[in-house]
């Protein structure tokens, strides 16, 4: 049921997106709760969301002192979700790359799965407005991880996913070591190693129109190396 759903959205300088996104989410899934994890965005994203948490009982905000990274933002959000008993827990970006219109399909799929991956690289999925180099990096990154980790999934770096609470409980959140793109790979790999049922559903990913990209060479290189660490250390 929808009131059991928490959508976690980490934000860093998303003032042009976040309020509109929350309202679009609630048009599509009115009963879903939204948790924004803001890292003291210099553009005032946290201050913009704060009033909403007073006027709308479905909106929650955690403010951290500074930019501590996407991975730890999600881990904080997952712990929050588990403590409060949510059943279906989403990861979602703030920049409209992840279309709220896909949320009902996730909620349908999670009924028969432990983890649902929004996938750009299955039939019906896709990417809009990405330059060729970025498509190649993304597809290459998924293929590389897929081969080294022996996973059957097509999109391993995506950040639009839905976990059943039991899956997060079993993963051991304290043992997650990755940041950036490798965080997404590591969560899926750990879930797969534990034998959870993982389902991919098609999503169309749209490049951000507002705000600034945080993609960096460092995040990319981390993923290249971390995949080997995962293969060697996660049983």
Residues that bind Mg ion (CB under 5 A): 93, 95, 97, 208
57 vs 213, beta carbon nearer ligand GTP: 213
**Residue 222, interface with ligand GTP (CB under 6 A)?**
no
- DSSP assignment of 184-234: HHHHHHHHHHTT--EEEEE-EEE--SSS-----HHHHHHHHHHHHHHHHH-
70 vs 113, beta carbon nearer ligand GTP: 70
> Residue 128 has which token pair?
């809009």
For residues 91 and 52, the answer to whether their CB atoms sit within 8 Å is no
**Residue 215, interface with ligand GTP (CB under 6 A)?**
yes
14 vs 186, beta carbon nearer ligand GTP: 14
- DSSP assignment of 106-165: HHHHGGG-SEEEEESSSTT-EEES--HHHHHHHHHHHHHHHHHHT---S-SS---EEEEH
Residue 7 makes CB contacts below 8 A (sequence gap 6+) with 25, 32, 33, 34, 35, 90, 92, 103
**Residue 158, interface with ligand GTP (CB under 6 A)?**
no
> Could you say which of 16, 39, 114, 222 contacts ligand GTP (CB under 6 A)?
39
**Residue 118, interface with ligand GTP (CB under 6 A)?**
no
**Residue 12, interface with ligand GTP (CB under 6 A)?**
yes
87 vs 206, beta carbon nearer Mg ion: 206
**Residue 203, interface with ligand GTP (CB under 6 A)?**
no
Enumerate binding residues for ligand GTP (CB under 6 A): 10-12, 14, 37-39, 67-70, 73, 93-95, 97, 208, 213-215
């Amino acid at each position: 049921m929808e009131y059991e759903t928490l959508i976690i959205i980490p934000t860093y300088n998303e003032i042009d997106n976040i309020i509109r996104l929350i309202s679009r989410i609630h048009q599509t899934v009115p009963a879903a709760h939204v948790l924004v994890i803001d890292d003291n965005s210099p553009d005032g994203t946290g201050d913009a969301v704060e009033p909403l948490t007073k006027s709308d009982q479905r909106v929650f905000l955690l403010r951290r002192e500074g930019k501590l990274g996407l991975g730890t933002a999600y881990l904080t959000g997952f712990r929050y979700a588990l403590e409060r008993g949510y059943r279906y827990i989403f990861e979602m970006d703030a920049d409209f790359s992840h279309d709220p219109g896909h949320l009902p399909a996730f909620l349908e799929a999670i009924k028969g799965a432990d983890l649902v991956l929004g996938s750009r690289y299955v039939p019906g999925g896709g990417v809009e407005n990405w330059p060729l180099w970025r498509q190649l990096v993304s597809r290459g990154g998924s293929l590389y991880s897929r081969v080294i980790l022996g996973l059957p999934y097509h999109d391993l770096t995506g950040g639009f996913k839905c976990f059943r609470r039991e899956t997060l409980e079993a993963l051991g959140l304290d043992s997650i070591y990755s940041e950036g793109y490798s965080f997404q790979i590591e969560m899926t790999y750990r879930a797969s190693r534990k034998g959870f049922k993982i389902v991919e559903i098609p999503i169309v990913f749209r490049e951000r129109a507002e705000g600034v990209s945080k993609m960096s060479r460092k995040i990319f290189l981390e993923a290249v190396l971390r995949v080997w660490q995962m293969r060697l250390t996660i049983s």
